[in-house]
Amino acid sequence: MEATIDVEVVVPWDWQSTDKRIRKRILHKGWWNGSRPVEGSPCMVQIDTSDYEDVNISEAYRLPSTDQFKLIVGEGETEFQRMLDRLLPTMDTFEECLVEYKIDESVYKVKIKLIQHGAGTPSYSLDAEKKLAKALYCKERGVLLYKEGRTLDAFHRFKRAAQLLIFLDRDQPQYLPIYLTVCNNLAQCHLQHGNYEHTLTLCDKVLAKEPNNVKCLLRRASALESLRDFENALDVYKRVLQLEANNHRATERLLQMKIQVDDMNARYNA
């Protein structure tokens, strides 16, 4: 009798995102009704994690515990919802697919079915008034999420607000103050996540237009400290104290920066 070799059949994926963090395999084809979800489309989605017990949707991603829920494409405020924002525009009505997606370095699998969807309106097609209203809404949502300690989710809301303001020509007087506030908030999110170079880039954008923005100066100084650029951090804290002589944080950090700079110079000259 001849020996047989078991060969594992690799089933290809039907779609994957450009960054390869999301991919789907169609389990049951849906039907084409003339359109797919776009930004702004209200959708009814069914989720099935019964085959993948390691995924607890409601706890991990703040989604309803029911297996069906509504969402609007482009309005995701968790990593899972933002994954759906990217996935749903590839799906037909009643399509069911197996989705594999990566959050940080963890890979999850879930079955998703698009029950129904309505018409949406992409942001680029909105008039200026509606773009501004949406930008302000995203900004305020970002503030609320940040206050809840959800820095990453807040970052994505601020980022969307910035994108909408760029569509409107951010340098116009009626938009510039809002845009600078959003950039300042983005800088704070980057600072909290240790993205110090991005923090500096955003702070520089703000300070180019508002050189006396104390909040932004303090964020810039904190980023410089973390990058061990103590001399420049010292200069920024001095600038803050010129603007606000009683600023407690700047006073405290200035003393620490002087110690660091003196120590650095002593070692250099030893």
Q: Clarify whether residues 236 and 250 are in a common domain.
A: yes
Q: Clarify whether residues 156 and 251 are in a common domain.
A: yes
Q: Clarify whether residues 217 and 262 are in a common domain.
A: yes
Q: Clarify whether residues 128 and 170 are in a common domain.
A: yes
The label of the residue with tokens 């804290």 reads 237
Q: Clarify whether residues 128 and 112 are in a common domain.
A: no
CB atoms within 10 A of CB 261: 14
Q: Is residue 242 part of a domain?
A: yes
Q: Clarify whether residues 26 and 98 are in a common domain.
A: yes
3-state secondary structure of 238: helix
Q: Clarify whether residues 70 and 131 are in a common domain.
A: no
Distance separating alpha carbons of residues 65 and 201, to the nearest angstrom: 40
Q: Is residue 72 part of a domain?
A: yes
pLDDT at position 58:
47
Q: Is residue 103 part of a domain?
A: yes
Number of folded domains that form the chain: 2
Q: Clarify whether residues 146 and 242 are in a common domain.
A: yes
Cross-strand bridge partners of residue 22: 101
Q: Clarify whether residues 134 and 254 are in a common domain.
A: yes
Distance separating alpha carbons of residues 61 and 36, to the nearest angstrom: 25
Domain extent, residue 228, equals 123-269
Q: Is residue 6 part of a domain?
A: no
Compute the Cα dihedral for 198, 204, 207, 208 and give only its sign: negative
> In this predicted model, what pLDDT tens digit does every residue of 41-61 receive, in sequence order?
999 999 887 665 555 554 545
pLDDT at position 55:
54
Q: What percent of the chain has pLDDT over 70?
A: 90
pLDDT at position 84:
95
Q: Is residue 162 part of a domain?
A: yes
Below-50 pLDDT ranges, the chain: 58, 60
pLDDT at position 18:
94
E-assigned strand segments in the chain: 15-16, 22-28, 42-48, 68-72, 96-103, 106-117
Query: Which of 98, 117, 136 marks a domain boundary?
Result: 117
Give the global pTM: 0.86
Cβ contacts of residue 117 below 8 Å, gap of 6+?
35, 36, 37, 41, 42, 43, 44, 73, 88, 93
Query: Which of 117, 135, 170 marks a domain boundary?
Result: 117
Q: What is the CATH number of the domain that holds 55?
A: 3.10.50.40
Q: What is the CATH number of the domain that holds 257?
A: 1.25.40.10
Q: What percent of the chain has pLDDT over 90?
A: 74
Q: Clarify whether residues 165 and 33 are in a common domain.
A: no
Q: Is residue 9 part of a domain?
A: no
Query: Which of 102, 117, 132 marks a domain boundary?
Result: 117
pLDDT at position 231:
95
Q: Is residue 8 part of a domain?
A: no
Q: Clarify whether residues 20 and 97 are in a common domain.
A: yes
Q: Clarify whether residues 162 and 243 are in a common domain.
A: yes
Q: Is residue 175 part of a domain?
A: yes
